[in-house]
């Protein structure tokens, strides 16, 4: 069974030695209140305090670095599942709070820098992710770029598609059975407003990264932050590999998923503060690729340290006991270390094309699911069983989605199948692709996966050879994430951050290719006429 919110069991977890913990024993006896098995006060305090952390980051770091750590740090450290559910607004959780806090901090920081620049008209600082003019950033101004029409169209579809979904799902979903009709109410216009707001919040890292992480220096800092975060996170990961996944229980008072899914091959898979061990393993894989890329492009004096970091992170990934990220690492590490930039971007574009076309291939029966399961069963019977379960559910959910292909079934579980006798949900949606296709239909699917694929195809076909050195590994990481969205729902804020950074970088490359040479520099190194800050 894979990662999915349908099977979470908060609070129940066995002791590393096999004994039942006091919490689990009390749950079984019924003497533990429900509140004790839920997130504790520290979980909600961490969510409330994160905007203050973001403010401190923006006071101490350049805008682009503060943005990176605001999103990445919130994803790695804040509690999963816990959220403030206020009426009339989307849930405030570890995704929305860092996104909104980063937006507010960016607005304040940029405005303050604009006021300082107005007081110092000949200052060299340009608010392009904290990069000084003349320090190797592309010649085009990040603030002056117009969003390309293709990006605008996909953004509009992504945010507005819930309206079409609601308007075509006003009727209740009926499931006749022995006990009568099982009814799921129709959607309301209020639901479209709420989902549109949630979609806009999800896209904030994309917008901010396109604006502030487009330069070569910002991309390098993004890769470095990923590698450093992986090194820091490897310590709690190793602790959980040794003692079992307990850190979220110790800190935030609850276990965020099904503990049985964290047990594999006689050991434990770490989960730390993420939603599933699969997420942790995928994050470790991206950190390995980031460290390997830094080792390739680092000065000779720094190269041994990054090589050692990549080897260390690869060893931790092996201990995570998760096959998918290991296979992705084996396929992509040679490209990161050896391939020219052009071929790195072409490989990433090919992965994006496979991910976007996957529903069509599955629907046409062109994916040999039975042969894949049989082949894996020869070596990994348990993993083959899990994969077969996924494929079976995908077939059922695809059939359900085909009934409303363009705009989907909407939320509240309307995209699932139910037992006609009991009303119990029969299907489990693990892959992000089948979730989006069932909920928002083809319009929502093409908008979401199109936004992720656009920078990879753009760089792969047009600008791969001219891209910054670290753009190649980020493109491969994004391509790997798109492939991972087929079996898992591993779409996280950092994914949108990388996609936005690559879109911005591609726009800068395209603008630089089509514009004349930049103005001559003054003896101090800055352009003769300072750029507009906003």
Give the least confident one: 158-162, 174-178, 307-311, 403-407. Answer: 174-178
519 in a domain, yes or no?
no
523 in a domain, yes or no?
no
Place of tokens 């609601």: 166
Supply the pLDDT for residue 452: 96
467 in a domain, yes or no?
yes
If one compares 263 and 203, the residue with the highest pLDDT of the two is: 203
The count of structural domains within the chain is 1
Check: CB of residue 483 under 8 Å from CB of residue 328.
Answer: yes
Residue 527 in this model has a pLDDT that exceeds 70:
no
Residue 20 in this model has a pLDDT that exceeds 50:
no
Write the DSSP string, 87-118. Answer: TTS--BSTTHHHHHHHHHHHHHHHHHHHHHHH
If one compares 133 and 319, the residue with the highest pLDDT of the two is: 319
Supply the pLDDT for residue 122: 52
421 in a domain, yes or no?
no
Check: CB of residue 333 under 8 Å from CB of residue 444.
Answer: no
135 in a domain, yes or no?
yes
398 in a domain, yes or no?
no
If one compares 526 and 95, the residue with the highest pLDDT of the two is: 95
Check: CB of residue 489 under 8 Å from CB of residue 210.
Answer: no
Supply the pLDDT for residue 218: 96
- Report d(CA 378, CA 75) in Å as an integer: 37
Supply the pLDDT for residue 112: 81
Q: Show the tokens assigned to 464.
A: 């791969």
493 in a domain, yes or no?
yes
276 in a domain, yes or no?
yes
If one compares 3 and 212, the residue with the highest pLDDT of the two is: 212
Check: CB of residue 71 under 8 Å from CB of residue 102.
Answer: yes
Domain limits at 205?
11-16+39-162+192-360+444-513
Check: CB of residue 158 under 8 Å from CB of residue 451.
Answer: yes
- Report d(CA 509, CA 152) in Å as an integer: 19
pTM to 2 decimals? Answer: 0.85
Residues 6+ apart with CB under 8 A from 278: 2, 3, 322, 324, 325, 488, 490
């Amino acid at each position: 069974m894979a990662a999915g919110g349908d099977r979470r069991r908060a609070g129940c977890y066995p002791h590393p030695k096999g004994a039942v913990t006091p919490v689990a024993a009390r749950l079984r006896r019924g003497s533990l209140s429900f509140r004790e098995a839920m997130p504790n006060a520290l979980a909600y305090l961490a969510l409330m305090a994160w905007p203050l952390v973001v403010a401190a980051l923006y006071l101490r770091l350049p805008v682009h670095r503060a943005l990176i750590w605001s999103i990445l740090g919130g994803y790695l450290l804040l509690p999963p599942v816990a959220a403030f559910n206020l009426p009339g607004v989307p849930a405030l959780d570890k995704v929305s709070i860092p996104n909104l806090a980063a937006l507010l901090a960016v607005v304040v920081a940029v405005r303050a820098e604009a006021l300082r620049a107005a007081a110092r008209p000949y200052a060299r600082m340009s608010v392009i992710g904290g990069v000084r003019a003349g320090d190797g950033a592309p010649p085009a101004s990040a603030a002056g770029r117009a969003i390309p029409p293709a990006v605008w169209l996909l953004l509009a579809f992504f945010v507005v598609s819930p309206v079409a979904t609601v308007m075509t799902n006003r009727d209740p979903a009926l499931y006749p059975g022995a006990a009568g009709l099982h009814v799921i109410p129709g959607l309301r216009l209020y639901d479209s407003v709420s989902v549109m707001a949630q979609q806009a919040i999800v896209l904030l890292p994309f917008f901010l990264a396109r604006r502030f992480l487009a330069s070569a220096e910002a991309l390098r800092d993004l890769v470095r932050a990923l590698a450093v975060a992986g090194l820091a996170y490897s310590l709690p990961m190793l602790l959980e590999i040794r003692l079992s996944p307990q850190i979220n229980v110790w800190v935030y008072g609850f276990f965020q998923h099904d503990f049985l899914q964290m047990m594999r091959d006689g050991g434990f898979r770490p989960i730390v503060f993420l939603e599933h061990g699969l997420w942790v393993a995928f994050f470790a894989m991206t950190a390995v690729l980031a460290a390997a890329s830094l080792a390739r492009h680092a000065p000779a004096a720094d190269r041994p340290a990054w090589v050692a970091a990549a080897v260390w992170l690869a060893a931790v990934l092996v201990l995570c006991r998760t096959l998918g990220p290991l296979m992705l690492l084996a396929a992509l590490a040679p490209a990161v270390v050896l391939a020219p930039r052009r071929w790195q971007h072409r490989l990433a574009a090919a992965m994006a094309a496979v991910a976007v076309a996957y529903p069509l291939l599955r629907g046409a029966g062109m994916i040999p699911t039975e042969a894949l399961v049989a082949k894996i069963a020869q070596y990994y019977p348990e993993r083959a069983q899990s994969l077969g379960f996924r494929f079976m559910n995908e077939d059922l959910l695809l059939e359900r989605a085909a009934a409303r292909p363009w705009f989907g079934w909407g939320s509240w579980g309307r995209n699932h199948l139910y037992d006609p006798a009991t009303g119990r949900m029969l299907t489990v949606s693990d892959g992000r692709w089948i979730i989006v296709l069932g909920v928002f239909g083809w319009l929502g699917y093409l908008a979401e996966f199109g936004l992720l694929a656009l920078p990879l195809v753009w760089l792969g076909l047009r600008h791969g050879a001219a891209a910054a050195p670290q753009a190649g590994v980020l493109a491969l990481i994004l391509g790997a994430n798109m492939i991972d969205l087929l079996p898992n729902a591993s779409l996280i804020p950092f994914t949108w951050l990388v996609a936005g950074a690559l879109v911005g970088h591609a726009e800068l490359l395209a603008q630089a290719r089509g514009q004349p040479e930049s103005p001559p520099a003054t003896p101090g190194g800055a352009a003769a006429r300072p750029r507009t800050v906003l």
